[in-house]
Structure 1
């Protein structure tokens, strides 16, 4: 065949292929899913802010407003735990462990048990309820589960076979849209979500992050999560602060994650005989303790802790023991069984720790809070690259790049020496084990029906 005719034939075949609905339909569905994650993330953020404002208005509306949390917070925790158990199972906690567990499952039915549009709806609804009740939780972890659920639905509608890659892409898009940190979304997908990262997922992750980021940018505009704080260490004392914040943050983060995993296992064994009754008792008790801590702290420990962390980044020193109060409130909110994340509260704890260390060493509060966030967050999640990139993007502190990187790495090393199992991956084991038990039970039931027939 002459070269010209062969080239013409290939060109016609290429045009037919590119015009084929079978080629474009999956891509269009995927793009719409990525845009939807951005839109949902922005709406979720606005509703979460509204819920916190409602709680603040209720608790400060009368001279006896300080008594309201003693009733509202335990009641809100109990209601949230009940709805999660009865109507939205697997919506409890952060949501990141569920997404990690789903990536290890092979059957689509098992993945849908952890990630579905129903679970995503419940996650949003109950996280907002928790914030309206004064829980020390964040919306960023839940946004990861919501994004992964949307992308898993995309896989079913579009027929794209890369379910694991789409879960990864949805998780990255959720982080990127929640914090307006596209680079952190990509690094999070590689370092935290996909310890066994597939190279073929690169395009999915990058495209999802870009499209969800564009949607969020169009709705919220360009912003830096904690504002701009460009400052780096200039003295020996400030360089010493890098070491102190890294080691202290890593040790505190290791203690939080190790204790959370240990207590979580004990709670599951304790609740097993009467799961609903004991889970509601636990939620009510944790809610009451969170309310008491909130009253002692003057209301500072209620909610995500965003205002406190931003104030510290802007140079306003936090109370010396705020970081301990916030840590305990976040721990209680986490083990209570209500939906809600630990991303934002962890950043507030880190900012409080850094502020206290900065006061003790007589250094810049802004620099100390930034380094404290890096050290503590890296210690909790044991993902130093994610910690470094996300804090760099949230503060825009390019003058402190080396210092933030050093604090994050020191926090990670210290945490690994004290606690070998990363928090999110440790938490994912219970969801993975439950999904596998459920799958085996369904298999035995099907086999029994078949043998009976």
Structure 2
């Protein structure tokens, strides 16, 4: 196999590991600062347009028929704008998280500058006009492409670029939700699926710097405001188990809805992509009159849940409305994620179940807010199947640090419930459906790369010598790292669980085969 100069540079970086990690430390700071600034502007623009939209819907009922028709004309023109930019850069459509996962896996390419401005404009217009989409998916992709742009400007290696993209994604979530730990954990648990120090350091620094920038702009208050949540009594823990089992099934229904809404938009009436977007925006316009609470991401709706009357019909209406409108909004294909709407649906599910528990005299009404918060973590864990991220995220977003134990229990029970129902992680399912992922049309001169993998306990290579392993063709083992030690990949060296191995490959199929061999437990669980 002929080794090109960039790969020689990559191997040299592996041989100078402490210097390489120190460079990633400072690059993580740069990524977090730049990403945090861009995403803070994105947050500000969304808050401004949301306030502007709410003011308009307050005025429209008394503004006369001409003003109302003009407003719907504005929605149709906005639909044309969203259609145009989505056609210009399809990789900016939707959440953006599956695309980032594909880039980290080496299966997809992103044109960073085009995606950056299309994601910003599309997210501001679509979410600002009321589509039930969240800022977190766009923020994660914005952070990732910002990191990619910095990597390209600095002429960094492709292996290093993937680390920086992970760091940018971490910064994106941290800045969007003012949750640095959740940003790091999401990047490691869901995106990179690697907890090595070389991934952790830039991701942590990027998340911290992005959070600092975000807090300078918006303050340090948590995203969700529930006041002082009372400690949850352990004698009601069995209710949390029931709640989490139901959320596990509800999360599967939500995932199936997101994956199945494509069939709805394949109806003959949606014969052109513009009609899909126009339908979603006109639906938002109608809901602005009769059910404005379901418009936008929904964080303000969560903040007011504890103040609403304990009415199953009210909570149920909001739940059904938010669920259906989120499917309509996401399915039309404009830039915007479902991360925040998913949390809102989880909160409303918890609200409905909490009211049922209260009316059955199973729990006092004072614990309704606790149930709503716990339900968000459970619903997230069921849909995304990243329980650690869900626990930390909800804990940071609600400042409910005393609820760590019950949040962990709820997330794990919901995860087990979802898997027993044969649910799959939503972002993996969406990734496998991407046309770009299926094509894998990466040029030959960009396929040759060094891939970092972690040897999992119980995998087919754990405990075996390098020479006894049947490595796929097009693959060469170039380095092994065990803790702080660097081990030359001699034929007699035995791999151990926890080793980080670096392989040179020029074939996507070979990379996937090695990934299955080395990280067998992790990846087989997701693909079965």
TM-score range, shorter chain: 0.7 to 0.9
The 1:405–1:436 alpha-carbon spacing in structure 2 relative to 1, beyond 3 Å, is same
In the alignment of these two chains, the number of paired residues is 413
Q: Spell out, residue by residue over 1:293-320, the C-alpha distance to the aligned partner (whole angstroms, 9 max, x if none).
A: 55443x1101111111012256875722
The 1:189–1:135 alpha-carbon spacing in structure 2 relative to 1, beyond 3 Å, is same
Q: Which residue of 1 aligns with 2:128?
A: 132
Which of the two has greater strand per residue? 2
Match of 2:33 among 3, 19, 35: 35
Match of 2:155 among 151, 159, 177: 159
The 1:99–1:274 alpha-carbon spacing in structure 2 relative to 1, beyond 3 Å, is farther
The CA deviation at 1:440 is 6.4
Counterparts of 1:164-313 in structure 2 under 5 Å? 164-227=162-225, 228-234=227-233, 236=235, 238-264=236-262, 266=263, 270=266, 278-297=272-291, 299-312=292-305
TM-score by length of 1: 0.82
Q: What is the alpha-carbon distance in structure 2 between the residues aligned to residue 233 and residue 369 of structure 1?
A: 12
Q: Which residue of 2 aligns with 1:399?
A: 402
Q: Which residue of 2 aligns with 1:416?
A: 419
Q: Is the 2:133–2:338 contact (alpha carbons within 8 Å) kept by the matching residues of 1?
A: yes
Q: Is the 1:33–1:151 contact (alpha carbons within 8 Å) kept by the matching residues of 2?
A: yes
Q: Which residue of 2 aligns with 1:446?
A: none
The CA deviation at 1:98 is 1.0
Match of 1:366 among 357, 364, 369: 369
Q: What is the alpha-carbon distance in structure 1 between the residues aligned to residue 195 and residue 413 of structure 2?
A: 24
Structure 2: gaps of 5 or more residues: 1-15, 359-364, 447-528
The 1:375–1:23 alpha-carbon spacing in structure 2 relative to 1, beyond 3 Å, is closer
Q: Spell out, residue by residue over 1:311-359, the C-alpha distance to the aligned partner (whole angstroms, 9 max, x if none).
A: 2256875722112211111111111111111121112111111112111
Q: What is the alpha-carbon distance in structure 1 between the residues aligned to residue 247 and residue 156 of structure 2?
A: 42
Q: Which moved more, 1:60-69 or 1:415-424?
A: 60-69
* Structure 2 residue 385 is the aligned partner of structure 1 residue 385: no
Q: Which residue of 1 aligns with 2:100?
A: 99
Q: Is the 1:313–1:351 contact (alpha carbons within 8 Å) kept by the matching residues of 2?
A: no
Q: Is the 1:226–1:394 contact (alpha carbons within 8 Å) kept by the matching residues of 2?
A: yes
SS at match of 1:303: coil
* Structure 2 residue 315 is the aligned partner of structure 1 residue 320: yes
Q: Which moved more, 1:317-326 or 1:433-442?
A: 433-442
The 1:240–1:320 alpha-carbon spacing in structure 2 relative to 1, beyond 3 Å, is farther
The 1:122–1:419 alpha-carbon spacing in structure 2 relative to 1, beyond 3 Å, is farther
Q: Which moved more, 1:385-394 or 1:313-322?
A: 313-322
Q: Is the 2:86–2:334 contact (alpha carbons within 8 Å) kept by the matching residues of 1?
A: no
The CA deviation at 1:287 is 3.1
The CA deviation at 1:83 is 2.5
Q: Is the 1:59–1:65 contact (alpha carbons within 8 Å) kept by the matching residues of 2?
A: no
The 1:27–1:397 alpha-carbon spacing in structure 2 relative to 1, beyond 3 Å, is closer
Q: Which residue of 2 aligns with 1:88?
A: 89
The CA deviation at 1:198 is 4.6
The CA deviation at 1:62 is 3.4
The structure showing larger relative contact order (alpha-carbon pairs under 8 Å, at least 6 residues apart) is 1
The 1:440–1:419 alpha-carbon spacing in structure 2 relative to 1, beyond 3 Å, is farther
Q: What is the alpha-carbon distance in structure 1 between the residues aligned to residue 73 and residue 399 of structure 2?
A: 38
Q: What is the alpha-carbon distance in structure 2 between the residues aligned to residue 214 and residue 338 of structure 1?
A: 30
Q: Spell out, residue by residue over 1:362-401, the C-alpha distance to the aligned partner (whole angstroms, 9 max, x if none).
A: 1422112111211212222111111110000111112322
Q: What is the alpha-carbon distance in structure 1 between the residues aligned to residue 51 and residue 430 of structure 2?
A: 31
The 1:63–1:81 alpha-carbon spacing in structure 2 relative to 1, beyond 3 Å, is closer
Q: RMSD across aligned C-alpha pairs, in angstroms?
A: 3.3
Which of the two has greater helix per residue? 1
Q: Is the 1:184–1:393 contact (alpha carbons within 8 Å) kept by the matching residues of 2?
A: yes
Q: Is the 2:43–2:135 contact (alpha carbons within 8 Å) kept by the matching residues of 1?
A: yes
